[in-house]
Structure 1
């Protein structure tokens, strides 16, 4: 059985000015909030993602938050225990158990932690000169304990011989080192970019929270992202912590996006197409914010977040809304000489063509802009006010399809599509 041992013992350093005595009592380090959830909640999510079937928290007593966390653990299919002393931990760790220990106050990127800990039993270490000033515990002259280790449960049997006042995690570290567990290094670079952080105070929690949010909203293609995506990312990084601390969940933001879209459709039906286009574009932007918030919750193992199918369905509804508004805005007369539904034809070609070109040229620079419905809504609103609308839609369709054909015919192949060993590739 895989067992996770967490800690809720260490107190946090109260935020205060230099040289001024603290007036606010220090709380427990594990309760410091990151993204609206406690550090201990983050560690529990990490433990459950690693397949832990038993979660043991070292704490001096039961609190309301611990009871809430117990429900989270049990909902994840694991057992939950709270023990106060190192000796009380011994009966919960069978000799054959696979034990993972996570240090008090440690927050790490889940993928980094998983790669390091799943490589086998070990004590994770950091260079002492980098880690000691940041609150990590020394192992020897060169190494500091990185706040996590993995070992067989039989190593913990030595806790029964120690005095009850000993810190359980420090004692487990000494026992693991004495058992000659291999030391596995964590890159010191992770300390600077937020992928591996020991949080000791509220001020450090605020700093770690900004880094945590930046890492979870980072995108490999963000440099080529569309204006709407970049705007949504900037909004989440700026206001995301406040929304998370206020308990604003992605589903609530998604509901606001849906309401904006309905308002846009209503205004378009009443004849105010330009405002309708803008509101539907804004609804797409708000949905992007909700999706990013959901991505943060999924990646940090706090919640399931928004489902991809729901997001894809919303995008289809946004496209349908833009098509409907464009059809209602059309200036084609409703006469018997004009086939029924002709005013829908060009808008369907425009939106459908944008989706098709994005699929046909997925790696071409700026092709992501074709998914940006905020930009689409803004352009359509401007065209609705300043240009002959039907002619503008027709020109846009021809431009889109013509550009796609030219790029497919004469465009250069992206470097990623070339052979990794061109000198070994046969030539005709």
Structure 2
């Protein structure tokens, strides 16, 4: 790792992107490519490198910090594959995994595009793109070079002279910021917003709540991650908001309770998007899909409870206990059923958006006859389900559905 420009005590590999060092991003990439031994060239073992060692060992790899290039030779056998990543390289994992999938290979750039961005020249036409996958036997040639040679630069030239296959990086990766070299703290700050946008670009934003959550992540995500705020902290805030909403419903403030449950779902989606950013950038070894399912089920239970508390049916003499719970239970079950029947229909994303559902219930609680509206919604969703079922039966039988020409 080289020193940061203007900061002799700082190392480029430790510059933060999304609250984690660039070296931590590179570790995730190395582990995804199957590396079983991680070697970092640095003068001293710092606390940041100790944390990186723990992450590598948790992923099943051995970790080494060496002070000179010559110490690398005993760690690499001739039959090994050697992945070399330039300090400060930040690449979208799916691009790096695809381009480095076949070995041996040197990733390159046109020299006129690579040099201004800080990449190293190979020859008159090409510059290295900061990543290469080489046969381990090439490490032996480092012993013939002076000790002050940078091993990455030396291996780049050794591999070029050995005519290792060179693969040019698509220009679109540079244009979109999917492949870049971070050289100082200012570049790291400029890169973070684009990095978050790239990782949330494929999120399914098909309803108001999801649109708002994605906007919050793109606006505040870099600051939250840079401050070290992990997704589980935001999920905890969502849980607290949901409990406050349930408490408001208990004391009779139904509209406020529904609104707070809608807000809790929104905050939960923000946490989920940030967790997805960490998973997609290989900063987390496992996902949290089961937690998401449990959290949404708990929110649905709270919405049902608040609907039952808001209902005026229990005030009617002679009505059996528990009848007020029936309409909201049926309503939420129908919402889930229709979402499964039509998973790709845009309107079912609105149904599955608990921000929309909570806001609708809050408005209904204040302005409309609550119990009547619940029953209208239940009947409407049943009718929609019957229509969808008829269309599905007609399609399975090869017959025209309603509104389709024969």
TM-score w.r.t. structure 2 length?
0.92
User: Aligned to 1:138, what secondary structure does the other structure show?
Assistant: coil
Structure 2 CA distance for aligned equivalents of residues 71 and 296 of structure 1:
21
Q: Secondary structure at the match of 2:39?
A: strand
* CA shift for structure 1 position 400: 2.4
* Residues 294, 304 of structure 1: 8 Å contact kept: no
1:128-277 superposed matches below 5 A: 128-219=111-202, 221-222=204-205, 225-277=206-258
> Are 2:276 and 1:284 aligned?
no
Q: 1:128 to 1:407 in 2, by over 3 A?
A: farther
Please give the secondary structure, in 1, of the residue aligned with 2:133.
strand
Judge conservation of contact 1:127–1:188 (CA < 8 Å) in 2. Answer: no
Aligned match of 2:369:
388
Q: Is the CA contact (8 Å cut-off) linking 2:28 and 2:283 kept in structure 1?
A: yes
**Structure 1 CA distance for aligned equivalents of residues 119 and 67 of structure 2:** 22
> Which residue matches 1:5?
none
Judged with a 3 Å threshold, the aligned counterparts in structure 2 of structure 1 residues 221 and 293 are, in CA distance, closer, same or farther, namely closer
Within the candidate set 274, 292, 295, 1:293 is matched to 274
1:362 aligns to what?
343
Report deviation, 1:92: 1.3
Tell me how far apart the structure 2 counterparts of residues 368 and 156 of structure 1 sit (CA, whole Å).
54
Question: Structure 1 residue 39 and structure 2 residue 22: aligned?
Answer: yes
Aligned equivalent of 1:19 = none
Say which of 397, 402, 412 aligns to 2:383: 402
1:336 deviates by 6.1
Change in Cα spacing, 1:304 to 1:78, as seen in structure 2 (3 Å) is: closer
Q: Secondary structure at the match of 1:184?
A: strand
Offset, 1:97 = 0.9
Structure 1 pair 305/251, CA: closer, same or farther in 2 (3 Å)? farther
Q: Is the 8 Å Cα contact of residues 297 and 304 (structure 1) preserved in structure 2?
A: no
SS in 2 for 1:366: helix
Does the 8 Å contact 2:4/2:12 carry over to 1?
A: yes
Contact 2:59 2:285 in 1 (8 A): no
CA contact (8 A) 2:314 2:321 kept: no
Question: Where do residues 97-116 of structure 1 align in structure 2 (5 Å cutoff)?
Answer: 97-116=80-99
- Whether 1:81 and 2:64 are equivalent positions in the alignment is yes
2:5 to 5, 13, 18: 13
Query: TM-score, normalised to structure 1's length?
Result: 0.88
> Are the counterparts in 1 of residues 91 and 179 from structure 2 also a CA contact under 8 Å?
yes
Q: Distance in 1 between matches of 2:47 and 2:38?
A: 17
Residue 72 of structure 1 and its aligned partner are, at CA, apart by 1.8
Helix, strand or coil: the match of 1:124? strand
Deviates more, 1:327-336 or 1:130-139: 327-336
Unaligned runs of 5+ residues in structure 1 are: 1-7, 15-23, 418-428
Where has structure 1 moved over 6 Å in runs of 4 or more?
none
